[in-house]
Amino acid sequence: MSGRNNLTLEEARGRAELLADLRYRVELDLTEAADFRSRTVLRFASREPGAETFVDLTAPRLERAELNGRPLPGDAFDGHRLRLLGLEEENELVVEARCAFHRTELGMHRFVDPVDGGVYLHTDFEPFDAHRVFACFDQPDLKGVFEFTVLAEPGWEVVANTRPAGPPAADGRKVLR
């Protein structure tokens, strides 16, 4: 792998032909100031068992990566991409990483207001920004179903373009589908 972050048209076409039925379960722990924990369970189909591809993830540290119950080797991750070898017809990828907060409108933006001291986080997932927050096939023609669980500080309001699946859990986690 190249260590590059940009997705080429050829790579995007190849993944679109190969992958189907994407289902994401993403857990974000936003309670720390320096960075945040991101955990993704991604289920997807491959139209070509035995093929290889990669999932996008820009993160300072990969803590765990497992494809179909098998740990991925350390050199499978180059800081921007996680190489996936030997795909099966149905796959489950589990990725745990420490992701960086950004202050330049990329990925997960974190801002401390100097006036009120409040901490504000937001993301708009402009094209090719979601992989800075969770492991994903970050291209617009690969649609998926998402469930997000967010652990936030007490008193924080978590807002999305979907309704919460229920009231917050006792530990403050909020589930968005």
pLDDT, tens only, 136-161: 999 989 999 999 999 988 888 887 77
Average pLDDT over residues 30-41: 93
The answer to whether 27 and 81 have CB atoms below 8 angstroms apart is: no
Q: What is the pLDDT of residues 50-83, one digit of tens each?
A: 999 999 999 999 999 999 999 999 899 999 999 9
Give the pair of three-digit tokens for residue 113.
């207001």
If one compares 61 and 33, the residue with the highest pLDDT of the two is 61
pLDDT of residue 1: 42
Residue 2 binned pLDDT confidence (cut-offs 50, 70, 90): very low
Q: What's the pTM value of the predicted model, to 2 decimals?
A: 0.85
Amino acid at 115: V
What is the pLDDT, as a whole number, of residue 114? 85
**Tell me, what's the pLDDT at 125?**
65
Q: What confidence tier does 117 reach under pLDDT thresholds 50, 70, 90?
A: confident
Q: Are 150 and 30 in contact (CB under 8 A)?
A: yes
Q: Mean pLDDT, the chain, as a whole number?
A: 87
Angstrom distances, CA of residue 45 to CA of 48, 80, 109, 142, 152: 9, 22, 32, 12, 32
The rounded distance, in Å, linking the Cα atoms of 94 and 101 is 21
